A and B are shown apart, each in its own frame.
Chain A
Amino acid sequence: MTLTLALLQQAVADTTGAYGHFPGIGGRGAVWIAAEVHLMFAAFVLGVPMFAVITELIGIVAKDSKYDKLSHEFTRLLVFAYSATALWGAMLLFALTTLYPKFWAHMTRIFSVSMWIYVSLFFVESFTLYLYYYGWERWQFGRGKWFHWGLGVLLNVWGTTVMLIANGWLTYMMSPPTGATAEGLPKGVTMWNAIANATWIPINIHRLIANAVFGGAIVAAYAAYRFLAAKTPEERAHYDWMGYVGNFIAISTFIVLPFAGYWLGREIYQYNQQMGITMMGGFMSWLWIVQAVLIGVLFLCANYYLWLGMARIPGAERFVPYTKWMLLLLIVCWIAWSTPHTMIATRDELVSMGGAHHPFLNVLGVMSAKNTAVNLMILTTFLSFLIYRRANKESVVPWARTGTLIQGAMFVIAAAVVLFYGVYGYFVEAIVRIGFSVYQVGAVLMCILGVSIIDAFIGRGARSRGEIRWGQMPERSQYALFVLAVTFTWLMGLMGFARSGIRQHWHVWEVMRDTSPDAFTPALGYAANMISLCVLIFLSLVAFIFWLGGLAERASHAVAPEPHGVAIPPGIAVARPGAAPVTGD
């Protein structure tokens, strides 16, 4: 009894002065909002520069000014978004120091040097951005252009390094090195060991790809808004094309994201089985059903946008009849993926189900069915991209028919491999079944790679069946881009909750306990409220930034007005009502 009292007194002592109070939403709520909105902006300012430099490079190599204009437009959004990122970062820092002083003292004890480097890099990054944006006109030609492009590359290097450092801190909280205690690191374990912990590299890879996805989705939403607000056919054409590029980048990078997520999950299991089980089969298991709903929406909207886009491509009519079958396949796969399986159940629920699993849904809900479903959805989406790409092209190479047949065979083989291992998975042990996902993923990746290579050669010197009528896109297609952007943002919030929530009542897993009144990990309903609040704050601020971007553009037009609205970028066909499309030279 004396010992228990002593332990309780110790717990009280641990908690005293360890936590601050925030009115209304509590300390955890305040940190949650500050961290999540900061992270959303950070993802945006890291994702957008990635393809700003890629599109600028395409513009330089292809000598096509429309790419340069696109890159410049991306960068204009960045200038405003950087301030918002820094602002929310400062709010997060103040929230942590005032609301979680003891935990933050622990983090600063271990990571202080990296925090100084982090701040210095933020300065360097900001100044590189200013040089990159404001030097656009000055370094527009010759060697100056390459120097300018180099600045863009440097901007990405600084941004990525900043992310790697911050990732070191947050992954330390999930997978601290052996021997770490609430007092700090043991002798012989350095700050570098704490940064380069078990989940650091997979998180880095996952976030890098996710940032590109997120940046693409937000840029596509920006383009969609400008498309809807456009007053001239030229403007509509430009923003239609910009929306397509943003969406293409978002979806093509998104397709590889599940593989990075799979690797991260594996590393979490390797580090600590209990944490892995909490994530996939413990109290968080229902989270993956919500995730499946979101990803299903993403796949459906991305395909819907492409199918609508085919209406503006001469020659696409021949592919339209297939879309209804693709839609059916996507919906069936979505249903399989969203089926609950190994969920925590109470004794009463077990009794009413007649066992640990639902008698019918059990068949659909297992990983074999889910892996099969998601791989088929990826293949279907890739097929949509392929037919969109080939819609207005007529190949002139003599082996075009053979090449197309080989491509078709690749799709069939990949789908057969996915289905075979999906069915075979029902007849083997769980530990063997887990390994099958590697074969399924491998088959899909090989198909994507092989088909893309063949397609690049088939398309060489292809005859055009007619120019794409950019701008001639139904308005509902642009709303699909909004749904994509909102869904990606919500998904980011949900996955952030999953990553952070699996630590449960630990600030640092099995090193430093959370002894605050908010130490419990909330249910998904509460988490969803917080995620939605963060998403709405972020989207409102992004809308404000877009509006500012429009103001800045109008101001520059007022100084040097263009006689006929926006110049037609070379290579873009513009659809004018009642007239034949005209093309920018």
Chain B
Amino acid sequence: MWKTNLKVLAIALLVVGFYTTVAHIIPQLQSEVPEALALGSGVTPEALVAAGEKIYNGAGGCTACHGLGTRAPNLITDYKGQGAVGARCGTRKPGMACKAYLYESLTQPQAYIVQGFDPIMPDMRKQLSDDQIWAAVAFLESQGGEVDVTGEDIAKSAPAKGAAPAPTGPAMTATLDPVALYSEKGCIGCHQMDGKGGAVGPSWDHIGSRRSAASIRKKIIDPKSDTTKGFEKFAGMMPATFGQMLTAAQLEALVTFLANKK
């Protein structure tokens, strides 16, 4: 019987040992915690870039999508002959400088979606502090461009002492202008209107002839309530957070505007 016991023990140890060995011979990747930074107003561009590189390759989790060429545009290598991100960021949105564009991409990612990609980029303010975000911007600028992030940018965007914590979603403004809301809330990323915007969701042109005001309101508050024909493959893409992101007045302004687009 002891022989059997030893055989069973050997089998168990062999199997456990085999799986442990397999797990050891593959690349050992560890998920780091974003390192707290203490970047003052006199911070140098070199220090910002160095801190940003660590965030980009580590705790920021950026490499999970950027660099594979399928989920998100490559940033540190060439993308469609336009160069690395530092070389092309200033031309992405007309009138928007590289620094502002990169900061917006990290904090309001739905505001502009590069054609051919899905709106999957998260708002990095939930993961990173403001100086970490600026460090990442500096690193991205350094990839083929000129670094112009300064300590002042960090100080300006940081919340004042005693102020409420930074919002976790796109910035809330009091505007009731539906066209402004279209850009500000990131609708432009997925819905086309007057020749602008993405094609992930149905176009807003003539939407009033396809949906009633009640149907539009319901769809904004509860996107899962129905799926527009022809967009089944994108079902579930629309964030369910617009009910919280819009004030009641903003929601009604948007619904009325869309319902009248016959």
Contacts and interface: CB of A to CB of B under 8 A. Distances in A.
A58 interface: no
Contact of B15 (A490, A522, A529): A490
Contacts of A278: 31, 61, 64
A282 B29 CA distance: 10
Contacts of A345: 63, 67
Nearest to A4: B38
A88 B29 CA distance: 30
B118 interface: yes
B158 A3 contact: yes
B31 A435 contact: no
A13 interface: no
A455 interface: no
Contacts of A342: 68, 70
Contacts of A522: 30
Main secondary structure of the interface of B (DSSP, over half): loop
Interface string A277-291: 110011100100110
Question: Which of A283, A286, A355, A520 has most B Cβ within 10 Å?
Answer: A283
B33 A519 contact: yes
Interface stretch (A68-76, A316-324, A532-540): A532-540
Question: Which of B39, B41, B77 has most A Cβ within 10 Å?
Answer: B77
A536 B19 CA distance: 13
Given A282-B61, A431-B233, A504 B122 contact: no
A4 B131 contact: yes
Interface stretch (A123-131, A268-276, A561-569): A268-276
Interface in A499-534: 501, 504-505, 510, 514, 519-525, 527-529, 531-532
A5 B38 contact: yes
B241 interface: yes
A4 to B, nearest CB: 5
Contacts of A431: 118, 233-234
A535 B19 CA distance: 12
A171 B176 CA distance: 38
Contacts of B24: 524-525, 528
Contacts, number: 158
A344 interface: yes
A432 B29 contact: no
A356 interface: yes
Given A479-B7, A486-B15, A528-B24, A523 B29 contact: yes
Main secondary structure of the interface of A (DSSP, over half): helix
B36 interface: yes
B33 A7 contact: no
A246 to B, nearest CB: 16
Given A3-B161, A286-B29, A521-B31, A482 B65 contact: no
B141 to A, nearest CB: 17
Contact of A346 (B28, B31, B57): B57
A115 interface: no
Contacts of A536: 12, 16
Contacts of B39: 4
B19 A274 contact: no
Nearest to A524: B23
A261 to B, nearest CB: 18
B19 A294 contact: yes
Contacts of B236: 270
Contacts of B28: 523-525
B20 A486 contact: no
A525 B16 contact: no
Contacts of A505: 31, 33-34, 59
Interface in B69-99: 69-71, 74, 76-77
Interface residues of B, number: 59
Contact of B241 (A178, A435, A501): A178
A277 B62 CA distance: 11
B11 A483 contact: yes
Given A4-B38, A11-B36, A504 B29 contact: no
Nearest to B234: A431
A286 B244 contact: no
B122 A273 contact: yes
A1 interface: yes
A273 B120 contact: yes
A273 B121 CA distance: 8
Nearest to A482: B11
A346 B28 CA distance: 12
A430 interface: yes
Nearest to B1: A229
A143 interface: no
A490 B61 contact: no
Contact of B19 (A8, A272, A293): A293
A504 B31 contact: yes
A136 B105 CA distance: 67
B238 to A, nearest CB: 11
Interface in B1-30: 1, 4, 7-8, 11-12, 15-17, 19-20, 22-24, 26-30
Interface of A: 1-8, 11, 178, 225, 228-229, 270, 272-274, 277-278, 281-283, 286, 289-290, 293-294, 297, 342-347, 350, 355-357, 430-432, 435, 479, 482-483, 486-487, 490, 501, 504-505, 510, 514, 519-525, 527-529, 531-532, 535-536, 539
Those 9 A-B pairs whose CB atoms lie nearest each other, nearest first: A528-B23, A282-B64, A521-B31, A523-B28, A1-B40, A273-B120, A505-B33, A274-B122, A283-B29
